[in-house]
């Protein structure tokens, strides 16, 4: 029972990270109906920026905030420069552009920082917090940071005029344009926010999986699985899906199938959800008109 509890709690910690990345995916999906294959690499790249800043002697939290800001700018720029021209292109073209982005970010990181694995500092103390022996301080901290980010986002979308405008632009671009919302910029802002959320996820996961240009491959897959499980158009679903996938991955990995096939769990989950309930648990069912 002890071991089980341990795995569940560890699963919640990684699940929080999947939840953040899944949320970033969902934000972009809601605004543009695209699944950003480069989300993981964007998070990886910004985590390297944080690493550089910290190595240059900056204290952790200023570096953290600066990185989030940088990620936001990066996201906005990517939307404006690279995604904009293919907005109305066929799906294949968009997928190719996303994959190209993934490859470019991956190789640029490899080019600048080499492919050697680096350790990334955790802002949280080494010894367990409050004498909880089931979770390390970093795991608890990561969950807290995730929850803070989620509530900030919720508050932003729920209570600010800008958040309302962004939701409107995502839901009905044409009508939003008619009431004077600059839909193009709302999309760019959405990309920026998603990149910022991804950066937080990257910085939280880096102390666990270590920093290297390919660190996000598996995590992105879990984030996909989480977003699909919760419903790709439901932010709340993405968060719950993230935690569920984290726990599922850890428990199955520890007790049922072993660590080697963890990625296959994500594969089976993705295909399973898409087959049984493509809209996910909390998503809306879409009906297309002929």
Task: Transcribe the chain into DSSP letters.
Answer: -HHHHHHHHHHHHHHHHHHHHHHHHHHHHHHHS---TTHHHHHHHHHHHHHHHHHTT--HHHHHHHHHHHHHHHHHHHIIIIIGGGTTS-HHHHHHHHHHHHHHHHHHHHHHH-SS-B----SS-SSPGGG-SSS-HHHHHHHHHHHHHHHHHHHHHHHSHHHHHHHHHHH-HHHHHHTT--HHHHHHHHHHHHHHHHHHHHHHHHHHH-B-TTTHHHHHHHHHHHHHHH-TT-HHHHHHHHHHHHHHHHHIIIIIS-GGGHHHHHHHHHHHHHHH-TTTTTSPPP----
103 is a contact residue toward other proteins (CB under 8 A): yes
Q: How far is the CB of 133 from other proteins (least distance, A)?
A: 31
Q: x/- contact string, 19-58, with other proteins (CB under 8 A)?
A: ---------------xx-x---------------------
115 is a contact residue toward other proteins (CB under 8 A): yes
Considering beta carbons, is residue 3 or 275 the nearer one to other proteins? 275
Report the alpha-carbon distance of residue 142 to residue 148 in Å, rounded: 10
- For other proteins, the binding residue among 1, 3, 275, 287 (CB under 8 A) is 275
73 is a contact residue toward other proteins (CB under 8 A): no
Considering beta carbons, is residue 64 or 98 the nearer one to other proteins? 98
Which residues ranging from 209 to 268 are in contact with other proteins (CB under 8 A)?
A: 217-218, 221, 224-225, 228, 258, 260-264, 266-267
274 is a contact residue toward other proteins (CB under 8 A): yes
194 is a contact residue toward other proteins (CB under 8 A): no
110 is a contact residue toward other proteins (CB under 8 A): yes
How many chain residues are in contact with other proteins, going by CB under 8 A?
45
Report the alpha-carbon distance of residue 265 to residue 234 in Å, rounded: 22
77 is a contact residue toward other proteins (CB under 8 A): no
Considering beta carbons, is residue 37 or 51 the nearer one to other proteins? 37
List, in sequence order, every residue forming a beta bridge with 118; answer none if it has no partner: 211
Q: How far is the CB of 221 from other proteins (least distance, A)?
A: 5
Considering beta carbons, is residue 173 or 261 the nearer one to other proteins? 261
Name the region of 130 (left: φ>0; alpha: ψ -120 to 50; beta: rest): left
Q: How far is the CB of 61 from other proteins (least distance, A)?
A: 31
83 is a contact residue toward other proteins (CB under 8 A): no
Q: How far is the CB of 270 from other proteins (least distance, A)?
A: 5
Give residues in contact with other proteins (CB under 8 A).
Answer: 34-35, 37, 82, 85-86, 89, 91-93, 95-97, 99-104, 106-108, 110-111, 115, 217-218, 221, 224-225, 228, 258, 260-264, 266-267, 270-271, 274-275, 278, 290
């Amino acid at each position: 029972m002890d071991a089980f509890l341990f795995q569940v709690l560890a699963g919640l910690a990684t699940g929080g990270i999947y939840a953040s990345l899944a949320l970033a995916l969902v934000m972009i999906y809601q605004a543009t109906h695209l699944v950003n294959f480069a989300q993981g690499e964007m998070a990886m790249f910004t985590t390297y920026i944080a690493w550089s800043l910290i190595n240059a002697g900056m204290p952790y939290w200023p570096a953290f905030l600066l990185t989030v800001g940088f990620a936001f700018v990066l996201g906005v720029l990517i939307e404006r420069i690279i995604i904009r021209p293919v907005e109305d292109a066929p799906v294949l073209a968009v997928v190719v552009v996303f994959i190209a982005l993934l490859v470019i970010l991956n190789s640029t990181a490899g080019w600048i920082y080499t492919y050697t694995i680096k350790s990334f500092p955790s802002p949280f103390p080494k010894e367990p917090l409050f004498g909880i022996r089931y979770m390390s301080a970093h795991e608890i901290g990561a969950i807290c940071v995730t929850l803070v980010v989620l509530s900030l986002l919720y508050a932003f979308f729920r209570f600010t005029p800008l958040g309302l405008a962004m939701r409107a632009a995502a839901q009905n671009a044409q009508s939003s344009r008619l009431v004077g919302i600059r839909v193009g910029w709302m999309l760019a802002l959405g990309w920026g926010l998603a990149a910022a959320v991804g950066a937080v996820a990257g910085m939280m996961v880096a102390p666990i999986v270590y920093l290297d240009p390919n660190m996000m491959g598996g995590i992105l897959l879990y984030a996909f699985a989480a977003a699909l499980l919760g419903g790709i158009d439901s932010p709340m679903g993405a968060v719950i899906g993230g935690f569920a996938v984290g726990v599922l991955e850890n428990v199955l990995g520890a007790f049922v199938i072993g660590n080697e096939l963890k990625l296959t769990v994500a594969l089976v989950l993705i295909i399973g959800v898409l087959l049984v309930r493509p809209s996910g648990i909390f998503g809306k069912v879409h009906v297309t008109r002929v």
